[in-house]
Amino acid sequence: MIQIADRLISEDIFSKNFICNLSKCKGACCVEGDLGAPLDKEETKILESLYEKILPYLSKEGIETIEKKGKWEIDPADGEYVTPTIDGRECVYVTYDENHVTKCAIEKAYEEGAVDWQKPISCHLYPIRVTEYKTFTALNYHSWSICKEACALGNELQISIFRFLKVPLIRKYGETFYEHLCQAEKEWEREFGKS
C-alpha cells in the first residue's frame, strides 16, 4: 500500500493495466452483480434534485422501477446507499445504444448539457473501489472477470489503472492528489519496477 495523506492506495493501480473496452464487454458492469452503483449521501440528494432532467433519458423499465423503489435505496447488508436495479440486474439509470451497449442515462444527460453532474463517482472511478474508514480512505483495485477485455486492452496499450482513471481521480480528489500519485508511481517503479 502507498499512503498519500489519509489515503491508502493499492499498488495494483500502478502495476495493473486497464482500459474499458465497451465494444467487447457491452458495459456488463452496469448490468451484472447483485446491487446497483454505490452512492454517497450527497449523491442521493443530487439524484433527487436532477431526476426530472434525467427522466427523458431513462428506459421505460428504469422509470417503472424508480417509481416502485425510489431513485436510490439502502443495501440491507451494510446500510450503504446504492442505485436500484431492474429485477436484480441492470442499474435503473442504464440505457442501451443501437449496438446493445449500456450507456448511463445520467451521463447522456450530462453530455447533452441537461445536467451538470456526470454520474456517480463510484461508476466513474471503476475499477477502483473506495472504502471510507474512520481514520483513512482506501483505494483498491476491484478485479472482476467481466473486465478481462479491459485488462487485455490495457496490457496491449500499457496504460495503468490510475492513468486510465486520471479524469475521475481528479474529479474526486483534485489535481494535487493526482500529481502525488504520478510521483508515487515513479518512486514505486524505481523500487519495484512494473511487472
Model pLDDT for residues 99-157, shown as the tens digit of each residue: 888 999 999 999 999 999 999 999 999 999 999 899 999 999 999 999 999 999 999 99
Residue 194: what pLDDT?
60
Q: What predicted TM-score, i.e. pTM, was given to this entire model?
A: 0.90
Q: Coil, strand or helix: which one is 154? A: helix
Sign, CA dihedral 105-108-109-115, equals: positive
In tens, the pLDDT along 28-43 reads 888 887 789 999 999 9
Contact assessment for residue 119 and residue 103, using Cβ atoms and an 8 Å cutoff: no
Distance CA(174)–CA(131), nearest Å, equals 18
Q: Which residues contact 15 (CB under 8 A, 6 or more apart)?
A: 160, 192, 194, 195
pLDDT of residue 93: 97
What is the b/e burial string over 78-97, where b = at least 16 CB atoms within 10 angstroms of the residue's CB?
eeebbbbbbeeebbbbbbee
Count the helices and strands in the chain (H runs, E runs).
Answer: 10, 9
pLDDT at residue 26, as a whole number:
87
Cβ-contact 127, 144 below 8 angstroms: yes
95 CB-near residues (< 8 Å, 6+ apart): 57, 58, 59, 62, 102, 103, 104, 105, 108
Q: Cα(123)–Cα(10) distance, rounded to whole angstroms? A: 18
